[in-house]
Structure 1
Amino acid sequence: MNQHLRPEPVPFIDIAAQRRRLGPAIDEAVTRVLTHCQFINGPEVTALEAALAEYSGAKYVVTCASGTDALLMVLMAKGVGRGDAVFCPSFTFCATGEAVALTGAVPVFVDVDEATFNMDVDSLKRGIATARKRGLAPKAVMPVDLFGQSADHDAIAAVAEAEGLFVLDDAAQAFGASYKGRRLGTLGLATATSFFPAKPLGCYGDGGAIFTDDAALAETLRSIRVHGQGSDKYDNVRLGLTGRLDTMQAAILLEKLKIFDDEIAARNLVAERYARGLGNVVSVPRLASGCTSIWAQYTIRLPAGCDRDGFAAALKAQGVPTAIYYPKSMHQQTAYRDFPVADGGLPACERLSDDVISLPMHAYLDEPTQERIIRAVRGALGA
């Protein structure tokens, strides 16, 4: 095929399309910051925290430098450390377990439900027993709302309450989703999210936020965010971080938040078209009862025996990019393979890591482009 006849590549996530929509508003917002020069803790940071609180229903929002810092700051605020166990799903991005390990505590990996990709409650119970057998003190559970869909928070909360654990919800991929009519941000002691640029609500760099209804926790988090400051920045009352969100990023997020619900609705239409077009040839993601998704990723499972690398290459030849989230679950990663896993192992995580693949997903994926992706998938499968 001649080079000029090669198919035009499809963007995996089209940040540029959103940029075209919001360009003047974001340019003006950034210019306001450049004019007032309060680059750290400027007025836009306070305004964003208020807007996020109103959006989520949480009483307090503490913005921070990244989703990883959001997780780490909560663990630090709760005094999690050596000898403690924190329970995480293994089929997730490494930041979930990383934040636990950085405190000196032990991440204990549990399995996930193959239909929702989220934490399996029976495996969580086994994980708690595993930790106790190893002499660890169970401290917290960190469910992940993976790919945009909420975990089963009622079931997890029941186990946590029975075992005396607090819940830190890792909603880095799912802020804006809801569980039984409640938006994420009010489930558990605290909720952490990320504003990494590829996220459905993303800034133009790194950023994150913590949501809680606990006033004392919010106060401690604000201290940790600035080196553990007390009455002023030279009165350090605890260990902390440089965990602040830049004013420029807050200004950008304020503009993006205004169109966020509209973009979520568009993502759901894209997901519905994929389900209709592909539901009879691959395993498409399913929403659990009472859950909505913001479709941070659209992750399918290939049929048994399908060569995933060959499938990805066939799509690439058609100009359709793919990604694998995650080719290795956390307990299979070099840095994390010596940490404990729940009794019974993590077979679902391992099966998912072998057969999942994600397709282009964003709010600006028009129907003709999506039809092209669906045809390429069906063609690669001979369907």
Structure 2
Amino acid sequence: MASNLEENLGSTVKFIQAESVQALASNFGASSNEVPDRYIMPEVEADSVAQKGSFELPIIDLAKLRDPQFSQAEIAKLGCACGEWGFFQLINHGVDKELLERVKADITAFFNLPLEQKKVVTTESNSAEGFGRQFVASDEQKLEWVDMLYLNTQPVNQRMLQVWPTNPPTFRDTIDQYSLELNKVTGELLEAMSKDLGIESDVLFNLFKEQPQVMRMNYYPPCPQPEKVLGASAHTDGAGLTLLLHVNDVQGLQIRKDNMWFNVENHPEAFVVNIGDILEIASNGRYPSVEHRAVVNTMKERISIGTFQIPYRFCTVGPLPEVVRGGKENYKSLPYIEYIKGYFSNKLKGRSYMESFKIY
């Protein structure tokens, strides 16, 4: 069955089977340490990066959000984190530690397979799903320093199981369990955000009916010239909410604030959560979708898994009337299907697509 994403995009964008960057990186030293020109992004060296230790993301405790004694104060703290940073670290989320360790082990094992075995889970169709797919807008487009496995995980009847790995043998069961657990977590966060926004929870949940979810597993190989490449170009997420799990302890996530890039330090057993475009628009700008990117390491690979809560595909993306309350709408409205087509058409232009929705 075709995924929601594939059905929605049709032929408007192109996903190709890209060269494995992991395989490319493994050949460095044999003939050359020069990064191919297609991967060199000049803005990396030009951008300003804040000094280490210059900031720390807010920490939100999900156990306190669940506890009536502490929930009111923690909801206010959550609202500040979403409004000021658009990012936070989520602790005490309740996802079983053993399950998290299995997720990390299975993803690592998959990326450690020989390339030909990983290629088994790819597709020839114009789809983002499977291993090694990259969105490519033109032949001149710069490529990101990453191998990825992209899966549609919820609802279950939208899964393309032919691109779900069977090696390691536990992979499918592990990701299935992880997917269900993260839908529970995002459901609780959306409910808490509804309280902070002063609206009924079902208003926000209606945007995410059936809780559609996709996962992107990222392998950023070490690079001899990390100052010239990016694992992920500067972008905002075209989702409602993103939960990022660091599979290993290599840092690489950066967020932009006040025209400066800030390094996000890994927090043990926490999810890094960020607001996506859909929630910025729905909240009428109260929760910003913040530009972020991934840098790479000289000596060691970085592995992560991002889980995206995406909207119900037949919903309308626009400011929620219950949030606006008769005031000024700061964003245009349009069907989600049209929104996501535009998102991928403008994916390589940072926040420019989001800015086009603003009403001045």
> What is the TM-score with the length of structure 1 in the denominator?
0.26
Structure richer in helix, relative to its length = 1
* Structure of greater Rg: 1
Structure richer in strand, relative to its length = 2
> What is the TM-score with the length of structure 2 in the denominator?
0.27
